[in-house]
Amino acid sequence: MKNNKFTVGVLTSGGDAPGMNAAIRAVVRTALANNMNVIGVKHGYEGLIKGDFDDLDARSVGGILQRGGTILLTSRSKEFMESAGQREAIRKMNEAGMDALVVIGGEGSMNGANALSKQGIKVIGLPGSIDNDIWGTNLAIGTDTAMNTIMEAVDKLRDTASSHQRAFLIETMGRNSGYLAVMTGIACGAEMVLIPEVPCTAEEVVTAVENAYKRGKTHAIIINAEGSALRTTDIAAKIDEKDVGFSTRMTILGHIQRGGSPSAYDRLLASRMGVKAVEALVEGIHGVMTGLKGKGIDFIPLADVISNKRKINMEYYHMAKVLAR
């Protein structure tokens, strides 16, 4: 305990997500307002193991609210998944006088947070992932911005698709979850959405494209989630203009979806969750993740977060289909 003050560490882990900086800022400034010290941990759990720490004050987090990425840097640490790595991390935390840790990240990061919590460390998790695949929160930090990035890209692609009467295969991120694909499919009026949760064949895609042409559409937009059963390149190879009417192009959006300035929604969500995380510690609550429930932020036990799998709301998948007529 530095200067007899309660000391909280903060780290970001896993894939970065827009709004992580807003969350760091909220944690730091709320902690300072509650007379705590704050230590920034670099490179996620890797930095926790190595003791790669920096003291943070109010100015350290100035000018970052609107920036994508994470000023603390991030990583996916294999070493931390082993108990030896976790023991070393706890040793480094104790050496630095860290009384609690705030972990901002995705599913894997919440797993790590729970592992520390089980070993007696006071931990609070904040869900940060563009995929929105974390159980216990309606929305994770970064998802809204990613959806807006995808929407802007698809709108632009539709302009050129319509002008040339083409089918466009557009691949979104989402290793295990079709959330981004389904929601942007609705928001962008896609003719078809392919997601990991629903099996699909290339023949079904060819038929959907052909039907869109026959219905007099000027384009066909197919959104394929990265984790779906079909590779975008494989589908493209199966679509022949002679059969379906449209010529075909494909665009893999890739990591552009993870970058960029966070939306107003993500800045607010991240700020609210950052504030709540420190408030939890003040109240003696830990071993939980902040989760958006209805309009409020709840505390969800980390053990529940990691033992449940978030499922996609199939209502939205069917809605995307109905609206594609």
Q: Which residues are catalytic?
A: 131
Pairing of strands 100-105, 192-194: unpaired
What is the number of helices (H) and of strands (E) in the chain?
A: 12, 11
Residue of 164, 175, 309, 311 that binds ligand F6P (CB under 6 A) = 175
Within 218-237, the residues that bind ligand F6P by CB under 6 A are 226
Give every CB contact of residue 322 below 8 A, 6+ residues apart in sequence: none
Q: Please report whether residue 131 would count as binding ligand F6P according to CB under 6 A.
A: yes
20 versus 239: smaller Cβ distance to ligand F6P: 20
Residue of 25, 122, 158, 258 that binds ligand F6P (CB under 6 A) = 258
Q: Please report whether residue 267 would count as binding ligand F6P according to CB under 6 A.
A: no
Q: Please report whether residue 129 would count as binding ligand F6P according to CB under 6 A.
A: yes
Angle 254-170-163 (CA atoms, 0-180°, nearest 5)? 125
Q: Is 98 helix (H, G, I), strand (E, B) or coil?
A: coil
Query: Quick one: tokens of 124?
Result: 């609070």
- Which region, judged by CB under 6 A, interacts with ligand F6P, from 20-28, 173-181, 207-215, 280-288? 173-181
Question: What's the min distance (Å) between Cβ of 273 and ligand F6P?
Answer: 17
Question: What's the min distance (Å) between Cβ of 312 and ligand F6P?
Answer: 14
Q: Which of 270, 10, 34, 293 shows the shortest CA–CA distance to 143?
A: 270
20 versus 102: smaller Cβ distance to ligand F6P: 20
The Cα–Cα gap between 287 and 110 comes to: 10
Within 18-77, the residues that bind ligand F6P by CB under 6 A are none
For residue 39, CA distances in Å to 10, 13, 47, 303 come to 6, 15, 12, 25
Q: What are phi and psi of 167, to 5 degrees?
A: -95, 135
15 versus 287: smaller Cβ distance to ligand F6P: 15
Question: What's the min distance (Å) between Cβ of 131 and ligand F6P?
Answer: 5
- Binding residues for ligand F6P, rule: CB under 6 A, are 15, 106, 129-131, 173-175, 226, 258
